[in-house]
Every structure is written in C-alpha cells, then in structure tokens.
Amino acid sequence: MVLKIFFPQCCNTAESGLLVGRWIPGQDSAVVLAIIHYPFIPAQVKKYLSQIQNQTQVDLTVLGSWSIPKEGQEGMENFLKDLSTIFPHSRWLQLSREFGKRAFTCRVIQKNGMTPPEQDNEDGDGKSEKDKIIFIHYDQRKVMLSQLHPLQEGDQNPESSELRLVFQTVAKSQPLFFLDKYDEGPVKLTHWQSEGREASIIVELLKQASVPLCMFMTWLLSMWHWICSIRILNLRPVQFISSKLSSCVQSGYRTGHLQTLCSPKRATTHMEFMRKANIFVSFLVDLALGLLLISWLYRENRIGKLANTLIPVADHVAKELQELLEWLMGAPAGLKMNRALDQVLGRFFLYHIHLWISYIHLMSPFIEMILWYVGLSACLGLTFALSVLSDIIALLTFHIYCFYVYGARLYCLKIYGLSSLWRLFRGKKWNVLRQRVDSCSYDMDQLFIGTLLFTILLFLLPTTALYYLVFTLLRLVVVMFQGVIHLSVDLINSFPLFALGLRVCRPYRLAEGVKFRVLCEEPGVPLHLSMEINPLKCSCVVQCYRTATYSCYPKDSWTALCKKLFVGELIYPWKHKSTKTD
C-alpha cells in the first residue's frame, strides 16, 4: 500500500513545527493543511483544533512533525519526535528537509514501532519500504477555491473519490486559515495566507451596500406582486392573453430572477452560488445592452423614420399578398383547381387583407407615439425590448396567422374526413373507447353516402391543399423570424457569463481533474510529485452552469413536426417550458 502525503507548496520553507491535517478515511493518504510553530502548549493546540473541528466538521488532527535545520534549534527534531506520545495516533509522520535539497525525508512511526527510511526491506516485488511514500505538492489556495467536476460523484474509481475528498478537506478547512504566524494567539501557523492576505475594500463596500439595495428591491417586488394580485388581472381572458405575450412571460421570468437575487437565504452550495452569480451578471449585461439600444434609438429621430417606414412596408406586404391570392384564384402553375371553391377562398382572404390594411391606416397617426413609448421598454433590458418586438411582429402579421389557421383547419377537416371514409370502404371504424380500429359492417345506404362524400372531398382536396401550403409557408417565415428573437432572448437569459468569465480569468476555479508532474526523483528519498489542476472545458462550463429557462427549441421531434404539417394540425415551434429550480 502506497502512503500518499498531500503537502502544500507554501509550507516547503516553513519553520519547524507540528503538521496539522487529516487522514483521508478509507484511503492510505494524508492531507497537510498547516504547520504549527514553536512555542506552543500541547493543551492549547488540542483546544484550538477542537474549536476548528466544531466549525468545519472536518476531523482535523496532528499528523506528525516537520523539522528544518536552523541555528539554535539543534534539539528541535528530538523534541518534536517526543510529542508523538502527547498526540496519539495510529501513525506519526516525521518529515524533515535539509537546506539546498528539494526532497523531504519521511519516517512513519506506528503504534508498534518505527519504520526508518534507511532500511532497505525488500518485499516480494523487489521494492523497498522507502518507495512506498509519495509526496504530492499542491497549491493550497487554488485547491481551496476550485470546484472539482462532475458535481455528482458517479465515478466508482477510488482515485477520483480520494481526490474529491482532498479538495473537500481543503475547502472546508477555510476557518483554519484565518490565523497565521503573525497574529497574536495561542498558536502560530503557516499556510497559504502567511505570505500576505487577500483583501479588497471595493468588495467589502459592495457587500455593505448590497443589504439596503436588496431591501429596496424586495419592497419593489412586493409592490409588483400586489399589483399582479388585483382581481381583474386574474380573470381567465387576461391570464390567457398574458401567457401568449412574450413581454409578459419575460417580465415574469425576470421577476423570478430578482426574487432569487434579493432572497435573504444565503447560497450554501456551489451550484446555488454559481446560479445567483450567473443571473446577476446576465441581468447587468441585459440592462447595459438595453441602455445602449435606447441611446441609439432616440438619436437622429430614428423613431420617426421607423414609423414613416412601417406604413409603406405594410402596404407593400398587403399588395404582395393580394397578387398572390389573385394568382391562386387563376390557374397557379398550370394546375386545374375547383373554380367555385377557389373563388370563395380567394375572396374570403382578400376581404381579410382589406380589413387589415384599413386597420393599419386607421392606426397610422398614432404609430410614432406608440413606438416612442414602446422603445422605453429597453430600459428594463434588451430581452424585454426583444420580447416586445416579437409581440409587435405577432400583431402586425396577425392576418397571416388567421390565413394559416383557416387553411389548416379546412385542410385538417378534409384529411380526417377522407381517412374516416377510407376505413368505411374497408369495413373498419375507429373505436373511441378502446382507441383502436375495429371491424364493422355497413349497409348499402351508408356505403353510397360514404362514396359520395369521399368523392367530393377528394376532388376538393387539391384546392384546399394549395391554399394550406402557401399560407403555411408564409406562417413559417414569420415563425422563423420570431424564433430567432426567442433564441436571442433565451441566450441572454440562460448563458452562464459569470462561469465562463471565471473559466477564462481563473481557470483553476472550475476543475475537471488534475495532472501530476515529477518534481523530484532522487535516490534514497521518496518520490515528489506536483499536482496541477486541469480546467474544465468551455463547452462543459456552458452545459453545466446554463440557467434553466423557457426554451425556443421545438418541443416535438422533427418527425412529429412533419407529421403535424402533413395532417394539418396547428404547430407552434416554440413552447414556454416551465423553469426548473436547481
């Protein structure tokens, strides 16, 4: 069994003292966290470690002694060796280092005696006892701040579980690092903060300022919930319309984000902290982009230019639709259509276009004012402005949506009628209770009426299918444009900007694993390795920390989508999925 000792790099030149750390349970490994320097009182050391154990819930103990030559302390090594009787343990490590050498020497004192490194006790495979000790030097600060992935430990490999325990031990022992060798206290320690503590006045001021800001935001959210709880807003028609408007959905989503940020509950896990941080950065970026849009939109009278362009564009689209309908009412592509049905459908859709153009011209004097006030919605963020834009597109193309619904319903009715009459010819019928096709006998009158209806529907199907095909293609063009907007909103809402920035600026914070490099390999001393952190891949960062949100992706598979298009069922390529809580 190889004894692995994880030793912090900051303690390589520390003065002689006691090794404080933890024996990894179930593993033949030890993690050194700090070195306690002389002078000290063993009773005070035990009391101090007991206090740290209560705070960290980590089984900290004195692992052994550390000695380094120094003038006037020639007997320090023997003194530290005798302390093994005061701090009893199954094993007592005696580490020593000489100046000018990078390697350590190690002696392991068992309860039943000592195993000196000078002995060359060969075992069955020809290896000596000294080869069974490996020193692994690690950067204590990086290991403490890093998070080893995957977060859910599914790997049964003992090496990976041992490494995870090492990372958790160093991270949970943070209260041990509050006291160092320069502080006045019962003990003096050397660890990663001994060469200088990190502090930031700006961070402390932001922490102090965040408390009243969170209280103010909580008050605003309570007022918003009070407004939303008004009885008239809870009526079913209002709720139905608000659920279909992208701006209402986005406002509700951002309200949930603000509730998460202003919650007095502290993030206790790594995923909760990262989720809050990603939401906060996403919210700031969203507001910044919205303010940039406002600064561009309200300069050089761009609102007026946009309003003056909107009416001609609407007239041009209406003219193109009229020409398309007139083409369909003739002989499109040389196809022979049912003239009576063709004329009825064409005039029906032309009347809708006439109504829509009249409505647009009636609203034309107010369009600039409406756009001016709608543009102010960008102060709530770019995502809200994009959601309003999606709603405006939906309103401006409502006549195309109506054409699609009329054509799809008529086409679907004929498809299901033909399929039902086709079963009649084969002596079958659809059993509604059992949800299956059963055999059935029909009389002569039923077969005659069924044949007559089947013939009528079959000959009228090409005309209906052509109108359905044309308006479905128009609807898909609008849907694709709205889908791009929804994808942009979803990207800003869910993209883990904070996690990705952390991966770029401080890659050790998100660790995928570690790699070992031979630091020192000298004869007569244990092997020394250097442990370096492998950062998590950027694609894995996005996949792991992406904020759960409603998505713009198709709810159904492409096969189901094509089937719906073929039978004439209404399709909505995006569905607002419920937000999952992590």
**Residues 6+ positions from 516 with CB-CB distance below 8 Å:** 136, 529, 530, 531, 532
Q: What is the reported pLDDT for 124?
A: 40
Q: Any idea what DSSP says for residue 113?
A: E
Q: Which amino acid is at 459?
A: F
**First and final C-alpha spacing in the chain:** 41
The number of C-alpha atoms within 13 Å of 457 and in the hemisphere containing its C-beta is 19
Where in the chain are the domains? 3-190, 297-495+547-567
Pull the structure tokens for residue 296: 């561009």
Q: Which amino acid is at 405?
A: V
**8 A C-beta contact, residue 271 and residue 151:** yes
Spell out the alpha helix ranges (H) of 397-534: 398-425, 444-494, 497-505
CA angle 162, 165, 167 (to 5 degrees): 115
Pull the structure tokens for residue 299: 């300069």
Query: Global pTM?
Result: 0.77
Lowest average pLDDT, out of 35-39, 114-118, 426-430, 566-570, goes to: 114-118
Could you give the CA distance from residue 339 to residue 460 in angstroms, rounded to a whole number? 10
Q: pLDDT, tens digit, for every residue of 385-437?
A: 999 998 888 888 888 888 899 999 999 999 888 888 888 877 777 777 777 87
Q: What's the mean pLDDT in 319-336? A: 83
Could you give the CA distance from residue 486 to residue 276 in angstroms, rounded to a whole number? 23
Whether 304 shows a pLDDT value over 80: the answer reads yes
Q: How many helices (H) and strands (E) does the chain have?
A: 17, 14
Angle between helices 302-329 and 444-494 (to 10 degrees): 160
Pull the structure tokens for residue 341: 């049905």
Q: pLDDT, tens digit, for every residue of 163-213?
A: 888 898 888 888 888 877 666 777 888 887 776 555 556 656 666 666 676
Q: pLDDT, tens digit, for every residue of 509-553?
A: 888 888 888 887 777 778 888 899 999 898 889 888 888 775 544
96 vs 241 pLDDT, higher one: 96
**Residues 6+ positions from 366 with CB-CB distance below 8 Å:** none
Q: pLDDT, tens digit, for every residue of 462-504?
A: 888 888 998 899 888 888 898 889 889 988 988 899 999 999 9
What H or E segment, with its residue span, contains residue 517? strand 510-520
Q: Which amino acid is at 345?
A: L
Q: What is the reported pLDDT for 288?
A: 92
Place of tokens 């952390």: 502
Place of tokens 């005659």: 448
Could you give the CA distance from residue 513 to residue 560 in angstroms, rounded to a whole number? 41
Q: What's the mean pLDDT in 145-150? A: 84
What sign does the CA torsion over 562, 568, 573, 575 have?
Answer: negative
**8 A C-beta contact, residue 503 and residue 538:** yes
**Residues 6+ positions from 470 with CB-CB distance below 8 Å:** 324, 328, 407
Could you give the CA distance from residue 99 to residue 137 in angstroms, rounded to a whole number? 18
Torsion, Cα 551 555 559 562, to 10 degrees, reads -90
